[in-house]
Structure 1
Amino acid sequence: MKDSGDKKPAATNPAADLSCEVCGLMPEPTKTRLTLANIAVMLPIELLVHALVVETHLPYVAKVLVLTLTATALVIWVAEPSAARILRGWLHAPALKLRRKMGTAPALWRARTVMQDTPGSLHRLTQALARLDTNILSIHVHPVPGGVLDEFVLSAPGNLSERQLLEALHDGGGSRSQVWPTTALAMADGQTKALSLAARIAGAPDELPLAVAELLRARILTPAEAILEKYDAGTRLKIPTAWHGPITFARPGEPFTPAESARAHRLAELAEILSHRPAAAAR
């Protein structure tokens, strides 16, 4: 109970929500709100000081000096710090509103998890994600040994963490789950992306290595790297070509699926056919 009591004020404290993580300073409030806050704090002080000094029997010049010095000191040492502290929530309300709006804005994630190929497995996973207000925007299913690899594009609240998504995938029956922040470009499915890259290769077959690397979100290995570097099973893919020789791609931590391998090989076949076309036409 003590821990929850300690955490509660931090969640509603503007300083905790808006303080810079590096310098610890709060953002500048708007001039209008800062002026109104200073007036609200200074006015009672000014009235009290005037009431006390006017009743004294000091000479006129002395009264002016006392009023000026006292009011200035109280404003600098009392009024402004009090306004910044007491009215902090109101002063920084616009920035707090923007921060909370940004925190609840939907974020896009790409996720992969291995599921059992049984009826109802996807429904359980969907329910687990729905409890986090996370929506499945697209899904691609790849058969793999021991089940199916489901690849999703997810729309989730902006304040949702990677750990929470991984826990939801695990609770929904997934295993070997992985998630990555992504963009709207992920909504272009693998087939559409492959067709776009095929059109690119049709115009320039030599673009094959770069096109496959873009398709698979992988790194092209040099011949020396292909021999020396070690990768987990499934994270290295080699495609044969007639003029480049074998081209090896690596994607550490994210094994290639059979569907991705098939698309890469089809692109290589397309590039080879097109590269021989001019020679055939010349004969």
Structure 2
Amino acid sequence: MSDAPKVMNGNQRSWRREIVELAALFLAVGLAHLLATLLGHQEPGPVLMVGLGAALIVGAAIHKRLGRRPRRAAPALPVEDDAGSPMVLWRIRMRVMERPGRLATVAGAFGRLGCNILALHIAPTGSSAITPAGCDALDEFVIEAPPGLVLDVLAGALTEAGGHDVVIVPAQVKDLTDPGVQALVLAQRVGADPDRLPEAMAELLRVPRVEWRRPGDTVDEGAKLNTTMVISVNPDRALLIRRPELPFTPTEAARAAALTATARQARYSTPD
């Protein structure tokens, strides 16, 4: 039923157009006959008519040629959406209360800001020394976010979603590697060559440099809590690891100790 009026309107438009074209044809013939009558009996009349005809032919040719030229596209308007812009990777850590629906609330906060969660690790804190009252888990996310997102806005949204002590630092693609798989690969590396322990430790804990220290050497006492870690390798040497922007977690400390034990065993074990 809804299509019938559209067909009738189209037929009405076609009939009107044909009537207009037919009227224009009659008008053109009438004007041509009148012009021929007025000028035909005068001496320059034929010459003038030929000139008018030639001018019409030239004008039609020029119009046709100009119509074939490609038209310049209008300048594109600026697009407000950042869908085509490259995303930025961030590593986010915060302390939370383990409650049903908590993760959904945090994910909703990310989604409202146009962020995409690429990796998530949840670790129980288990120590009152590093856990504020009421917080019993440590969540770490690797996300991709729009380049124009203000970090203060992101931190505020996560705090409203239940996060405490939100820390946001730049992330790299290698941060998406599964920690378990990475630990096994690094353990195999130091097992084959214990001298590569500092290099493997830096990769495990995602720090730019690991330094050798001797027992008794001073450590920066003004550093923030859990941002410096000293791991004993043997009675004469230890590894000093600093990460001021992101405190170490108990899980990371356990992984570092296990990696050191692997290197120590490879160094001092004797074949049967």
Give secondary structure in 1 for the equivalent of 2:244: coil
Aligned mate of 2:112, from 102, 107, 131:
131
Q: For 2:192 and 2:142, locate their aligned partners in 1 and report how far apart those are by CA, in whole Å.
A: 31
The residue aligned with 2:263 is 271
Deviation for aligned residue 1:134? 1.4
Give secondary structure in 1 for the equivalent of 2:237: coil
Q: For 1:243 and 1:228, locate their aligned partners in 2 and report how far apart those are by CA, in whole Å.
A: 17
Aligned mate of 2:163, from 142, 160, 174:
174
Is residue 212–residue 237 contact of structure 2 (8 Å, CA) maintained in 1?
no
The residue aligned with 2:213 is 223
Q: Does 1:205 align with 2:205?
A: no
The residue aligned with 1:60 is none
Deviation for aligned residue 1:148? 0.9
User: What is the CA deviation profile of residues 52-99 of structure 1, one whole-angstrom value per residue up to 9, with x for unaligned ones?
Assistant: xxxxxxxxxxxxxxxxxxxxxxxxxxxxxxxxxxxxx93xx49x67x9
Deviation for aligned residue 1:105? 3.0
The residue aligned with 1:241 is 233
Give secondary structure in 1 for the equivalent of 2:229: strand
CA RMSD of aligned residues (A): 2.8
Based on CA coordinates, which of the two structures has the bigger radius of gyration? 2
Deviation for aligned residue 1:221? 4.1
Q: For 2:122 and 2:154, locate their aligned partners in 1 and report how far apart those are by CA, in whole Å.
A: 19
The residue aligned with 2:41 is none
Q: For 1:100 and 1:123, locate their aligned partners in 2 and report how far apart those are by CA, in whole Å.
A: 26
- Aligned CA distance change for structure 1 residues 156 and 226 (closer, same or farther; 3 Å): farther
- Aligned CA distance change for structure 1 residues 210 and 255 (closer, same or farther; 3 Å): same
Deviation for aligned residue 1:121? 1.7
Number of matched pairs: 189
Runs of 5+ unmatched residues, structure 2: 1-73, 126-130
User: What is the CA deviation profile of residues 181-214 of structure 1, one whole-angstrom value per residue up to 9, with x for unaligned ones?
Assistant: 2232211022122122112212211111221122
The TM-score, its normalising length taken from structure 2, stands at 0.62
Runs of 5+ unmatched residues, structure 1: 1-88
Q: Does 1:189 align with 2:178?
A: yes
Aligned mate of 1:162, from 121, 136, 151:
151
The TM-score, its normalising length taken from structure 1, stands at 0.59
Is residue 91–residue 168 contact of structure 2 (8 Å, CA) maintained in 1?
yes
2:100 is aligned with what amino acid?
P
- Aligned CA distance change for structure 1 residues 226 and 212 (closer, same or farther; 3 Å): farther
Q: Does 1:118 align with 2:125?
A: no
Give secondary structure in 2 for the equivalent of 1:155: strand
1:109 is aligned with what amino acid?
W
Give secondary structure in 2 for the equivalent of 1:118: coil
Q: Does 1:232 align with 2:224?
A: yes
Deviation for aligned residue 1:243? 6.2
Q: For 1:200 and 1:182, locate their aligned partners in 2 and report how far apart those are by CA, in whole Å.
A: 24
